[in-house]
């Protein structure tokens, strides 16, 4: 089966600082792929190259064989890429339902169907009770959930989650994990950046590890976590011996 | 499927209808010409403010060039009448079409400018329009155009001319304002309404949800400009005379949005409330206090604007319980650079 | 040649007025729609000063500049500080507050002085021209140009002082400056004062050869906005360059095409530049 997403030797620098260097990997349809690495490894920058906020300096990103790097975000979204942001970007002057409707309007131009899809997505993500609450009044965990709901309403093929589970209580994180599993069960491929290893590793099928802008290794979670290079990258040389 | 949104919108429609009925009946017991005129102007400006609101309030582009579209509508309709004998009731749609086109022409280069650059660019555009019209003899230049009363037809709706009893003009203005309100109501519940609000709140997030910002702004401009043009055409027929100093002047571009801003931008009732307060007040202070050019009326008017802007920035409509959103500041045209 | 020099001198005045505007905008993201009215008040102040004391307006330069400085500070503390802290619609509130102020000031001028035109008729330089290589330059305009240039130089100097840098820092990051001990309110008030003073100087010089009326501010205001936007909001140097450019274009358009269209020329240039450089020639914002 051809991969859903191909990241092909993507490089990107900002003002002389190399954020991504020669990144290559595939995302298989239906998998949950983790993207990890120490701070400054280039994870969000990579997301931005995939979802269109940024154009890579070199290399290509392909979705189902079609080149998408260089396309603006609105087009990437129409082609099936949805994302959440590391710092939540909710439409604060609108209610939860209205926020999600904006996502639904990506593919539906009439209000009735868009509202229906939004309501359905809210139910799916467990936010139905908060439908009429202003977005700015939500708890941080709910806001994260709202971002996911909004992204889901665009009927994506690939969902990029940027630190969705970071900073949540264990209970919130568990329910977030369940949501991600439900998303995959709907047939949506997920790629997630995460710092919280205990939550990420049981969830994902494979892990891509970035360090200093490059791919360090790719593999199953259990292998990656024992990889000495990975340990060294995160903790420094002193802990590498193990 | 019933949600809080659909429920609220139904209520708005009911209130709107009731208001329309009340305004339709309002001038009937009033025979004083001055008061009737005041009401007509107020209603007309409520409609104009609402039309502006579509671009400036809902879409967040603070256009200060709307006098241009108003004037274009007035001139086009009038010229079609005086040069080609086309009745204004038809001509006003041509005026609207050209007003909308003009708005598109202005928007196309200007929408990429952020906040204040955009505002000033629109001021300049409006000023260019004024200066060009002043020097364009074919459309009357500084002398303007007198709108003739077509005797062979007499008082008529088709020709939008009423000589003795000016009451029908009230209904024309009311119809205009009602249409403008309805358009705003329809937009609020449509994809554009949602999308514009999203762009105002967070353009980066909006783009990630497939919102194409530029085309949506162009749509707002076209609708806003077209409605404003129609208003201009009606105004021309009502006052019977147009020249650049009455329909294209710069201050008009500030007066048109003023009721919307003070009443509450981006809301359905804001422009109406704003017009209902501002226009009578400015007219009254002008007649009673400013007649001799004393300037007191201006001082009061200016003071009032400052007062409302500072004391109630979300608009006067919020005083009567209208739900007001917390929109962001001026910068809705620029896209943030994505964080690295 | 005559035309070019005339344009140059006017351009310097535009630049000075624009510089004041740029300062204020640069500080607070406020487009001061009352800027023209500040100019108008300065001109009236010069006129009244001349009427009352018989002193040549040139001598009133310092007093009027100081008076305008005080006015600028007052405007900030009374109005703009409140406008800044508004939660809703901040950009629009600022536009319309300054617009309301403009109307208020214009009404006040009309009330106090009436709306007829006044002029200062016995200045030291009025009516005198100087002949420079065949070009006749009216002395008042020349003096105005020179003073504007000097004032501009002064502003540039100030921008290099510690205060100037504090101004710049405050503009770049309003929140952070509080952390390094810069009192935002004081900086803003001083910025407003300086901006108003700059306009005050321009106003006094203008009064020596231009008529004074409540509506005179509006004409110059628009040119000032265009100049600032063309030069780039926040850039003093840009205001100078743009002012000179605008002055030239205006003079040449009036001469070559048609006097009543002279403003169309400068507006066209302005719009053309904006198409390619949306932030103006030297804009940093």
- Does the CB of A77 have a partner CB in chain B at under 8 Å? yes
Cα A192 to Cα A177: distance, rounded to the nearest angstrom: 11
**Cβ burial, residue B165 (10 Å; 0-12/13-18/19+):** exposed
Query: With 90 as the cut, is the pLDDT of residue A155 above it?
Result: yes
pLDDT at A149: 96
pLDDT at A30: 92
Q: Do A98 and B208 touch (CB under 8 A)?
A: no
The DSSP output letter for A82 is E
pLDDT at A238: 52
Structure tokens at C65: 């500049």
Q: Is C64 helix (H, G, I), strand (E, B) or coil?
A: helix
The mean pLDDT value for A121-134 works out to 94
Percentage, residues of chain A above pLDDT 70: 97
Cα C276 to Cα B287: distance, rounded to the nearest angstrom: 47
CA distances from A223 to A207, A213, A229 (A): 9, 21, 11
Q: Do B109 and C91 touch (CB under 8 A)?
A: no
Radius of gyration of chain C (CA): 18
Q: Which residues of B touch C107 (CB under 8 A)?
A: 295-302
CA distance B61 to chain C (A): 10
pLDDT in tens, C110-168: 888 877 777 766 655 556 666 666 666 677 777 777 777 777 777 777 777 777 777 66
3-state secondary structure C73-97: HHHHHHHHHHHHCCCCCHHHHHHHH
The mean pLDDT value for C200-211 works out to 82
- Asked if A85 and A161 count as a contact pair (C-beta separation under 8 A), the reply is no
Which residue in C93, C111, C222 is closest to B123 by CB distance?
A: C222
- Does the CB of A111 have a partner CB in chain B at under 8 Å? yes
Q: Do A94 and B201 touch (CB under 8 A)?
A: yes
- At C65, the pLDDT band (50, 70, 90 cuts) reads confident
Tell me the CB-side half-sphere exposure of residue A83, using CA atoms within 13 A: 31
Ranges of residues in chain B whose predicted pLDDT is under 50: 326-340
The mean pLDDT value for A195-213 works out to 88
Residue ranges in chain C assigned as alpha helix (H)? 2-28, 35-53, 61-75, 81-84, 90-113, 139-160, 162-172, 174-179, 184-207, 216-231, 236-256, 262-276
pLDDT in tens, B1-53: 778 888 989 999 999 999 999 999 988 888 888 888 999 999 999 999 999 99
Structure tokens at C282: 């030297």
Query: With 80 as the cut, is the pLDDT of residue A143 above it?
Result: yes
pLDDT at C239: 80
Structure tokens at B251: 């201050």
Question: Higher pLDDT residue, C275 or A182?
Answer: A182
Query: With 80 as the cut, is the pLDDT of residue C184 above it?
Result: no
The mean pLDDT value for C60-84 works out to 84
Query: With 80 as the cut, is the pLDDT of residue C72 above it?
Result: yes
- At C177, the pLDDT band (50, 70, 90 cuts) reads low
Beta bridge mates, A23: A10
The ipTM value here is 0.90
Query: With 60 as the cut, is the pLDDT of residue C67 above it?
Result: yes
- At A240, the pLDDT band (50, 70, 90 cuts) reads very low
- Does the CB of A127 have a partner CB in chain B at under 8 Å? no
- Does the CB of A124 have a partner CB in chain B at under 8 Å? no
Query: With 50 as the cut, is the pLDDT of residue C7 above it?
Result: yes
pLDDT at C244: 83
pLDDT at C183: 74
Question: Higher pLDDT residue, B169 or C51?
Answer: B169
pLDDT at B338: 30
Q: Which of B63, B330, B336 to mutate to test the interface with C (most CBs of C within 10 A)?
A: B330
Q: Which residues of C touch B113 (CB under 8 A)?
A: 274, 278
């Amino acid at each position: 089966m051809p991969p859903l997403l191909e990241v092909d030797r993507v490089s990107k620098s900002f003002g002389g600082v190399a954020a991504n260097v020669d990144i290559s990997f595939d995302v298989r349809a239906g998998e949950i792929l983790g993207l990890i690495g120490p701070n400054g490894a280039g994870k969000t920058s990579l997301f931005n190259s995939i979802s269109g906020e940024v154009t890579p300096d070199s290399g290509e990103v392909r979705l189902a064989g079609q080149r998408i790097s260089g396309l603006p975000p609105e087009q990437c979204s129409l082609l099936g890429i949805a994302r959440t942001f590391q710092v939540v970007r909710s439409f604060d002057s609108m209610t939860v339902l209205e926020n999600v409707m904006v996502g639904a309007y990506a593919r539906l131009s009439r209000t009735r169907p868009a509202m229906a899809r939004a309501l359905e997505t809210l139910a799916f993500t467990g936010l139905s009770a908060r439908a009429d609450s202003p977005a700015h009044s939500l708890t941080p965990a709910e806001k994260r959930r709202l971002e996911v709901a909004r992204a889901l309403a665009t009927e994506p093929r690939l969902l990029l989650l940027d630190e969705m589970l970071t900073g949540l209580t264990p209970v919130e994180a568990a329910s977030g994990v369940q949501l991600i599993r439900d998303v995959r069960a709907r047939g949506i491929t997920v790629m997630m950046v995460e710092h919280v290893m205990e939550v990420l590793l049981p969830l994902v099928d494979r892990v891509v590890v970035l360090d200093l802008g490059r791919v360090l290794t790719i593999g199953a979670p259990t292998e990656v976590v024992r990889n000495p290079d990975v340990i060294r990258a995160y903790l420094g040389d002193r802990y590498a011996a193990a | 499927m019933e949600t809080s949104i659909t429920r609220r919108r139904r209520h708005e429609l009911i209130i709107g209808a009731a208001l329309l009925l009340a305004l339709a009946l309002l001038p009937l017991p009033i025979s004083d010409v001055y008061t009737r005129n005041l009401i007509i102007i107020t209603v007309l400006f409520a409609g104009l403010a609402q039309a502006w609101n579509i671009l400036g309030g809902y879409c967040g582009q603070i256009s200060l060039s709307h006098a241009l579209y108003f004037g274009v509508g007035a001139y086009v309709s009038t010229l079609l009448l005086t040069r080609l004998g086309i009745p204004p009731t038809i001509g006003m749609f041509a005026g609207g079409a050209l007003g909308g086109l003009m708005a598109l022409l202005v928007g196309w280069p200007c929408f990429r400018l952020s906040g204040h650059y955009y505002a000033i660019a629109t001021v300049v555009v409006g000023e260019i329009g004024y200066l060009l019209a002043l020097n364009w003899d074919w459309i009357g230049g500084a002398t303007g155009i007198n709108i003739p009363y077509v005797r062979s037809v007499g008082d008529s709706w088709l020709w939008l001319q009423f000589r003795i009893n000016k009451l029908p003009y009230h209904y024309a203005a009311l119809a205009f304002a009602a249409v403008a309100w309805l358009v705003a109501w329809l937009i609020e519940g449509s994809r554009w309404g949602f999308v514009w609000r999203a762009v105002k709140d967070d353009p980066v997030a909006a783009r990630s949800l497939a919102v194409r910002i530029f085309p949506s702004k162009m749509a707002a401009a076209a609708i806003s400009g077209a409605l404003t043009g129609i208003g201009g055409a009606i105004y021309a027929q009502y006052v019977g005379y147009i020249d650049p100093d009455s329909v294209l002047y710069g201050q008009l571009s500030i007066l048109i949005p003023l009721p919307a801003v003070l009443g509450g931008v981006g809301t359905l009732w804001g422009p109406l409330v704003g017009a209902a307060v501002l226009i009578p007040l400015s007219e009254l202070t002008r007649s009673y206090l400013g007649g001799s050019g004393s300037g007191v009326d201006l001082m009061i008017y200016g003071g009032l604007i400052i007062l409302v802007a500072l004391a109630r920035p979300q608009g006067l409509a919020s005083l009567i319980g209208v739900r007001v959103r917390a929109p962001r500041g001026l910068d809705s045209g620029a896209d943030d650079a994505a964080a690295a | 040649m005559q035309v070019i020099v005339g344009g140059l001198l006017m351009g310097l005045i535009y630049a000075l007025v624009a510089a004041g505007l740029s300062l204020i905008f640069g500080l607070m993201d406020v487009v001061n729609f009352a800027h023209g009215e500040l100019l108008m008040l300065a001109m009236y102040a010069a006129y009244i000063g001349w009427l009352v004391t018989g002193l040549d307006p040139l001598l009133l330069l310092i007093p009027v500049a100081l008076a305008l400085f005080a006015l600028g500070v007052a405007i900030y503390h009374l109005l703009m500080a409140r406008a800044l802290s508004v939660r809703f619609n901040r950009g629009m509130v600022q536009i319309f507050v300054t617009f309301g102020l403009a109307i208020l000031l214009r009404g006040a001028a009309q009330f106090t002085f009436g709306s007829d035109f006044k002029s200062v008729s016995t200045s030291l330089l009025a009516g005198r021209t100087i002949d420079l290589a065949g070009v006749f330059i009216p002395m008042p305009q020349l003096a105005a140009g020179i003073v504007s240039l000097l004032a501009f130089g002064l502003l540039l100097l100030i921008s290099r002082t510690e205060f100037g840098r504090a101004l710049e820092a405050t503009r770049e990051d309003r929140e952070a400056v509080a952390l390094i001990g810069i009192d935002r309110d004081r900086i803003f008030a001083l910025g407003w004062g300086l901006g108003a003073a700059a306009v005050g100087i321009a106003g006094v010089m203008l009064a020596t050869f231009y008529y004074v009326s409540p509506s005179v501010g509006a004409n110059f205001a628009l040119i000032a906005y265009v100049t600032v936007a063309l030069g780039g909001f926040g850039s003093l140097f840009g205001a100078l360059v743009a002012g000179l450019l605008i002055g030239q274009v205006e003079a040449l358009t009036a001469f070559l095409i048609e006097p009543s269209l002279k403003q169309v020329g400068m507006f066209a240039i302005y719009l053309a530049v904006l198409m390619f450089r949306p932030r103006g020639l030297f804009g940093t914002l």
